Amino acid sequence: MDPGSVSSNSREISALYPGCLLIIGGAEDRTGECVLLRAFAERSGGTGARIALITTASGVPGALFAKYLAAFRRHGVPDVCELRLADRDQGDGERTLSGLARATGVFFTGGDQSRLGPLAGSRANLLLRDRLAAGTLAVAGTSAGATALGQEMILGEDAAGQPLTGPGLGLLPEAVVDMHFTQRRRLPRLVTAVRQHPSLLGIGIDEDTAILVRGGRFEVLGHGTVTTVEARGKQPDVRVRVSRAGGFFDLEGRRPLP
């Protein structure tokens, strides 16, 4: 299978379940073929999509919004709006809820994931969970926006190099996500995070790579690999698996699928 393609199997899943979750490891192509952004746009409704871009994590939200706006418009999506959500009040506000209610796709950009912490448990967060569960929305996150989608999110590291974590948005429950994974050699960090939270599945995603989560499983899209880390029995044992583009993984059974 061409690593940049979306399999026919995925298209069949999309037809059965209108909602989906696309979690990107960061540094996705925004100027060329934009394989991952195009996949998100298609699952948000194509030319009829209404995408809300949440730039909360970014330190330069306006400039970043302009880049994504150009990329999505180039792939036929004219309706793209920005939500900065600077604090919890905005995350609970009616204007935010109205914007998310009309959206067919919601995209969390990269930046500093700690800025997304106040949104955990907000009314906006709960609305996104409800719409995903109902299958009426596509949600994506990249880099900082990717780790925020798990039950716990990695906030960085302490002085001793140990990962610091906090509550995530929980759109991918029972998981902790790390990004820029192979490029920044983050396997030790993810293993430690899983040991700190042994009930969670660790998912490390390479740059320009994503997992498409649907129906209790994910498919790997893009050009890199996805690493899963699972605690086994007594600490400190963990199981590490690597999946390549086109591979499927059963989130409920925590095992690769043929």
Distance of alpha carbon 109 from alpha carbon 70, whole angstroms: 14
Residue type, 171: L
71: closest CA among 21, 20, 22, 29? 29
Tokens of 154: 């990695």
178: closest CA among 189, 162, 166? 189
Distance of alpha carbon 222 from alpha carbon 122, whole angstroms: 32
Q: Are strands 105-108 and 50-54 parallel, antiparallel or unpaired?
A: parallel
Name residues whose C-beta falls within 8 Å of residue 155's C-beta, 6 or more positions apart in sequence: 113, 114, 117, 163, 164, 165, 166
Phi, psi for residue 2 in degrees, rounded to 5: -65, 120
139: closest CA among 204, 186, 94, 83? 83
Distance of alpha carbon 82 from alpha carbon 71, whole angstroms: 14
- CB 214, CB 193: distance < 8 Å: no
Catalytically active residues, by annotation: 143, 180, 207
Cβ neighbours of 191 (radius 10 Å): 20
